[in-house]
């Protein structure tokens, strides 16, 4: 949490100490295991320590729309500090380790250290910026552009927490997960991945993706990283 929020604010020793003293409970989750129940009450925020998770909304016949993807270091449900009845669910997409912090303790921390509250507010605003970018992608990009844009985003987000480098990053998502995130069918995702490979933009192996042509992939997705606000 200190590393994640410290990019925009240099915490004092007292602030770091207060964050480290937060009472947390950590859980190891299996793939597809619930973290936050859709439309259920929420009394705590979570921090992704390891693995990949997502927020989603479900529809009839088992359909779902993935609203956001989360990787280690992310704080995906900060809005629950003020909106404790989430209109979405959250599950683990891979085996994941997640730490939970009670809302009451976070509220006391913010009251005592307003700068931490500002850092948390900034993080929530970055999440909102990512949501806007996803909305634009769903509304205006074709399948090739959506997939290229998502791969560019994931690479930079993972690179920022030391989990990507050399144009290679882990890709544990199934084609059904990509389809649910991009508003496509798994068949369409499979066909689009093939197009990106044939164009020599990416090389996708088991649980690993290599970007072969960063300028080309960025152009295919019309990718501008400004919305990520990475330092």
* pLDDT tens digits, one per residue of 198-217: 999 999 988 999 999 999 99
pLDDT of 67 > 80? The answer is: yes
| pLDDT one-digit tens code per residue, 157-192 | 999 889 999 999 999 999 999 999 999 999 999 999
Q: What is the pLDDT of residue 61?
A: 83
| pLDDT one-digit tens code per residue, 123-134 | 999 999 999 999
Any idea which of 7-21, 24-38, 40-54 has the lowest mean pLDDT? 7-21
> Residue 207 — left, alpha, or beta (φ > 0 → left; ψ -120 to 50 → alpha)?
left
Instruction: Report the C-alpha gap between 1 and 28 in whole angstroms.
Output: 18
CATH number of 139-228: 1.10.10.10
Mean pLDDT estimate for the chain = 94
Q: What is the mean pLDDT of residues 140-150?
A: 98
Q: Could you write out the DSSP letters of every residue in 83-118? A: --S-SSEEEESSSEEEEEEEHHHHHHHHHH-HHHHH
Distance from chain centroid for Cα 80? 16
Indicate the pLDDT class of residue 140, thresholds 50, 70 and 90.
very high
Residue pair 78/45 in contact (Cβ under 8 Å)? The answer is yes
pLDDT of 8 > 80? The answer is: no
Kindly list the domain boundaries of the chain, sorted by start residue.
Answer: 2-113, 139-228
| pLDDT one-digit tens code per residue, 213-231 | 999 999 999 999 999 998 7
Residue pair 110/148 in contact (Cβ under 8 Å)? The answer is no
Q: What is the pLDDT of residue 145?
A: 98
The percent of residues in the chain predicted with pLDDT above 90, rounded, is 86
Indicate the pLDDT class of residue 99, thresholds 50, 70 and 90.
very high
Q: What is the pLDDT of residue 166?
A: 96
pLDDT of 110 > 80? The answer is: yes
Indicate the pLDDT class of residue 10, thresholds 50, 70 and 90.
confident
Closest CA to 44 of 24, 30, 29: 24
Architecture of the domain whose range is 2-113: Sandwich (2.60)
């Amino acid at each position: 949490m200190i590393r994640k929020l410290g990019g925009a604010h240099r915490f004092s020793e007292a602030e770091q100490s207060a964050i480290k003293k937060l009472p947390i409970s950590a859980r190891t989750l299996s793939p597809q295991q619930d973290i936050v129940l859709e439309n259920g009450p929420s009394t705590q925020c979570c921090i992704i320590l390891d693995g990949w998770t997502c927020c989603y909304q479900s529809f009839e016949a088992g359909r779902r729309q993935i609203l956001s993807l989360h990787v280690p270091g992310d704080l995906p449900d900060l809005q629950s500090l003020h909106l404790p009845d989430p209109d979405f669910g959250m599950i683990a997409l891979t085996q994941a380790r997640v730490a939970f912090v009670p809302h009451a303790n976070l509220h006391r921390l913010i009251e005592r250290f307003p700068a931490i509250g500002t850092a948390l507010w900034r993080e929530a605003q970055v999440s909102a910026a990512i949501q806007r970018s996803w909305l634009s992608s769903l509304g205006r990009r074709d399948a090739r552009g959506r997939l290229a844009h998502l791969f560019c985003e994931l690479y930079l987000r993972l690179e920022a927490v030391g989990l990507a480098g050399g144009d290679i990053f882990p890709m544990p998502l199934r084609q059904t997960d990509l389809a649910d995130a991009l508003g496509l069918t798994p068949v369409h995702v499979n066909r689009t991945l093939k197009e990106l490979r044939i164009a020599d933009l990416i090389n996708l192996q088991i649980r690993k993706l290599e970007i072969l042509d960063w300028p080309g992939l960025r152009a295919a997705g019309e990718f501008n990283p400004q919305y990520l606000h990475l330092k």
